[in-house]
Structure 1
Amino acid sequence: MKRRNFVKKSMLSGAAVMATGGMVHCASGGEYVPGLVKKHSFKLKYAPHFGMFRNYAGNDLIDQLKFMADAGFTALEDNGMKGRDKSMQDKIAKQMEASGMQMGVFVAHQIYWKEPNLTSGDKGKLDEFLKDIKDSVEVAKRVNAKWMTVVPGHVDLRKDMGYQTANVVEALRRACEILEPHGLVMVLEPLNFRDHPGLFLKKIPQAYEVCRAVNSPSCKILFDIYHQQITEGNIIPNIDSAWSEVAYFQVGDNPGRKEPTTGEINYTNIFKHIHGKNFQGIVGMEHGNSQSGKEGEQRVIDAYKEVDTF
């Protein structure tokens, strides 16, 4: 899956463990040294992803988790968690528990970017989706996750939108029958037309309509502020209008999809608003770094400190 693959594979050079600018650099084969990062107390549960701090923490995923916790982040987001082997999932879960971190979303199913699946009403595609959801329940249990991302896929150009919506609602109701007994929640993510043309779910009001039709605590909205700034703007009023169905946020500035403060979105005001509404969920840091290397990683941390001041 091409989308949101921020984890890049590279070899870590060097053989020393050092502190630079208050950060920890763990070399390949070395032991991660805790306590050298000045921990910040964030007001919201911002969730980095693997690879975001690898220049400081190294390639090892457990060391990256330790670094995130040392910096003050209290959650992790990993879209690719379902594809990791079970032993690694267990290790990640163990380290998150030890670090007092909460698991954010992972992608629950195969996403169809070019052809219809849930919109079509095709039984084979529906059965495939429901099997993916069942498999995702086991992953969620293993890593102590509550939320999983669902994208209904491409539009069906041969069907009226009303019929497509009915097909999607039915598929999601069937998925909720699987998720509800476990207290798990799929979060529907509308995606912008520029980066992902042709998808069924595009706007927050549409996602709200679908969630109300499904009418289950296991079907809510993933409000990705980056996507919605492109698609419709009007971020804070849409947050308020859809609030009863919003369970999760993701962020990235526009243009560029980098950390807050790099684009046009006033994240200080948005975060202040959702904090004032007593949001207790996770804010996924689903973006790239605007600068490379350790300096870029420091810039990400500093950016969240800047917009978290309210």
Structure 2
Amino acid sequence: MQKTKFSANLGFLWTEKSLPDAIRAAHKAGFDAVECHWPYATPAADVASALAETGLHMLGLNTTRGDTTKGENGLSALPNRTDDARAAIDQAITYARATRTPNIHVMAGFAAGDHAAQTFAENLRYACTQAAPHGITILIEPLNPYDAPGYFLSSTDQAQAIIAELGAPNLKLMFDCYHVQLTQGDLTHRLSNLLPIIGHIQFASVPDRGAPDHGEVNYPHIFAHIQNLGYTAPLGAEYKPRGDTDATLGWLKTL
């Protein structure tokens, strides 16, 4: 069986380092790729240089959260914020092109109701249209109600319906095992059933969002199941290390 590949999410791992140095640390640790949350404070040229130096690929990045002083966590489902949401999408596409990043997670934000649903759909159509000429996939990710209460997108069922409604070939699901387990569970069957629309898979222990070598999810089983499904892209290690990141990486060998 082929070795499972892993991507280091630098939004949580090696956060004490600059983004280029975190890329170098991920390469030294043996990761196959990297991904990030909001890289915009770092010049894209510096990230591209570190990627070229290490031979790693940046798999994905997020659109900006908005005004974090007001508690915003994404803009694309917020009525009356369409201009800001599309500026964030344009910013993400520009950065992704400069760093050869193939996936952009368009963050919905805290919203509810029909107007929010319509707004999110319209902004996703815009994102898919703008991203398609550059070979970029748009991802949407359900977040659990413990970490993100009131987030517009909260289940894989909701995400699946949106993807079906829009019918854009470059709109996919970000399946985060941590969020899905806390919200819906049944990871094995959901991975099987949703595989055709999955664009990226992430993981962390449940319930503490730590390294995957403990908690209620049997990740050796999950990783083997993902391999058996024929999914070969790197899986995103989006967990919060307790202390030094390097001290938490024993799972890379044991799992």
Residue 47 of structure 1 pairs with residue 1 of structure 2: no
CA contact (8 A) 1:117 1:152 kept: yes
Cα RMSD of the aligned pairs, angstroms, is 2.5
CA separation of 1:66/1:110 partners in 2, compared to 1, >3 Å: closer, same or farther?
closer
Rg larger in structure: 1
Task: Mark the CA change 1:116 to 1:97 in structure 2 (over 3 Å): closer, same or farther.
Answer: closer
Q: Which residue of 2 aligns with 1:233?
A: 185
Query: What amino acid is the match of 1:281?
Result: A
**Displacement of 1:180 after TM fit?**
0.9
Is 1:280 aligned to 2:232, yes or no? yes
What are the equivalent positions in structure 2 for 1:66-215 lying under 5 Å apart? 66-84=24-42, 86=43, 89-111=44-66, 118-119=76-77, 121-122=79-80, 125-156=81-112, 159=113, 161=114, 163-215=115-167
Partner of 1:270: 222
What is the DSSP-based 3-state SS (H/G/I as helix, E as strand, rest coil) of the residue aligned with 1:287? coil
CA contact (8 A) 1:189 1:222 kept: yes
Q: Which amino acid aligns with 1:209?
A: A
SS in 2 for 1:142: helix
User: For residue 217 of structure 1, what is the aligned residue in structure 2?
Assistant: 169
Q: Do 2:110 and 2:150's aligned partners in 1 also have CA atoms closer than 8 Å?
A: yes
Identity between Structure 1 and Structure 2 (%): 24
Residue identity opposite 2:61 in structure 1? F
Runs of at least 5 residues in structure 1 that lack an aligned partner in the other structure: 1-40
User: How far, CA to CA, are the matches of 1:277 and 1:64 in structure 2?
Assistant: 31
- Aligned-residue offset at 1:151: 2.0
TM-score (norm 2): 0.88
4+ residue segments displaced more than 6 Å: none
Give, in angstroms, the shift of residue 128 of structure 1.
1.6
Shift of 1:76: 1.1
Amino acid at match of 1:74: D
- Look up the equivalent residue of 1:302 and give its one-letter code: G
How far did residue 238 of structure 1 move?
Answer: 1.0
Does the alignment pair 1:244 with 2:196? yes
Report the secondary structure of 1:102's partner residue. Answer: coil
Gaps of 5+ in 2: none
Q: Could you say if the C-alpha distance between residues 97 and 198 of structure 1 is closer, same or farther in structure 2, counting changes exceeding 3 Å?
A: same
